[in-house]
Amino acid sequence: MAGLPFAAAFADPTTSAFKGAAITSPPFQGLLPLTYSETSPGSGTACAAGAGAPRCDPLFVAWQSAPAPTLVQTGGTPTLFSSPCTVGTASSISQISCTVLIISVLAADMNFRLQGTAQNAGMALRQFNTAATMQNVAASGRTVSAGLNTDGSATISLNALIPASAFTMLSHADCIALGIAPASIGGALNCLQTTITVPMTLLADHPLFDSTNSSFAWFMRNKWYEVSYYAVASGIAPSGTGSCTTSVTCLQVTYHRDKNNQNDEGKPRGIIVIAGRSLSGAARPNGTLSDWLEGVNCRPVGAGCPLATSTTVFALRSPPLVINGTFNDRIAVVDSN
């Protein structure tokens, strides 16, 4: 999926559920969207929501019943007769169920494309997981693609195969009762049926939530997310065009250089500003944004933040301010042109 997710509304991190919120006008900034759904990324097991796990919500990202999911045949020798799909919940995980009715001499493999809409996919951190457990869908050869919609939902397409072994042959009477014309079956032709299920764990939690991940575990374990301010260029948010123009509509991070030590101040699409200790002596974490950031990074722009000039302008340092004395922000560029 192109683009970056919506931020969660800024609030005291100790009480926030960290759920991204769809907005239509800038600034697209706030807390990181860190709600999660599984016991660990890719486990397929729903996390247990409760007071001790305020960020857990297995049904925040879920399949939508409208528009209804659709399944179409893309290959194989059977003739697809019907494939109505419904949305439900199993073990606290949203899933699509499709009843597939085919006409064929014998059971045979059938390739298909399933398209569904996942609500709130653009308000959380998710990754494709084609290994998710699916009923009557071949494990190999699955491919998935998606596009973010302006409301933060995502249109997801799964291409996969139903193996011949998944189909059960029905009697001619049952076939006719299901709407198949008598002339369409008989002789060598039969009708066969199966039901497939595709869980929302097709979009698994991001590795950031994996406590055993050597690359990311430190961030969550040490609670850096409780002092992290997330900002996205308007064109990169789900409601945007999917791109931003360098030094025009991208974010500006003054003094930032890329991995090749080249100036890329006007290229960032998304950033995380990590607040240092409170220079006012306030307890951290807290819900006072102007206490988090200094200089041009201070938010909200206006009263209380005299050096801040624009919601899209940030800086690695502030010449009028003393590093670690009156300025101690750190910035990580998430994505860049």
pLDDT digits (tens, 9 = 90+) for 98-132: 999 999 999 999 999 999 999 999 999 999 999 99
> What per-residue confidence (pLDDT) applies to 45?
97
Q: Distance between CA atoms of 229 and 290, rounded to whole angstroms? A: 11
Mean pLDDT of 66-89: 97
Calculate the CA 18 to chain-centre distance: 13
From its phi and psi, is residue 139 left (phi > 0), alpha (psi between -120 and 50) or beta?
alpha
Residue spans of the domains in the chain: they are 1-34+211-337, 62-205
If you ran DSSP here, which 8-state letter would residue 128 be given?
E
pLDDT score for 324: 61
Q: Is the dihedral of CA 144, 97, 41, 3 positive or negative?
A: positive
Angle at 143 between CA 137 and CA 149, to 5 degrees: 110
Q: Note the maximum CA span of the chain.
A: 88
CA pair distance 5, 60, nearest whole angstrom: 14
Report the pLDDT averaged over residues 2-26.
92
Name the CA radius of gyration of the chain, rounded. Answer: 25
Residue 218 and residue 315: Cα distance in Å, rounded? 25
Q: Which residues have C-beta within 8 Å of that of residue 272, sequence separation ≥ 6? A: 32, 228, 229, 230, 231, 331, 332, 334
- Please give the torsion angle defined by the CA atoms of residues 177, 179, 182 and 188, in that order, rounded to the nearest 10 degrees: -90
Evaluate whether 135 touches 147 at the Cβ level (below 8 Å). no
Instruction: Look at residues 176, 180, 284, 280 and name the one whose alpha carbon lies nearest to residue 223.
Output: 284
pLDDT at 321: 67
Confidence class of residue 185 from pLDDT cuts 50, 70 and 90? confident
For residue 160, give the nearest of 195, 193, 111 by alpha carbon: 111
- How far apart are alpha carbons 336 and 114 in whole angstroms? 32
Query: Average pLDDT for residues 185-209, to the nearest whole number?
Result: 94
Q: 153, 154, 129: which is closest to 143 by C-alpha?
A: 129
pLDDT of residue 183: 83
Under a CB-based contact definition with an 8 Å cutoff, are residues 11 and 287 in contact?
yes
Which ranges in the chain belong to alpha helices (H)? 172-177, 217-221, 289-292
Cis peptide bond prior to 26, omega within 30° of 0: no
Q: What is the pLDDT of residues 25-73, one digit of tens each?
A: 899 999 999 999 999 999 999 999 988 889 999 999 999 999 999 999 9
pLDDT at position 36 = 96
Query: For position 2, what pLDDT does the model report?
Result: 64
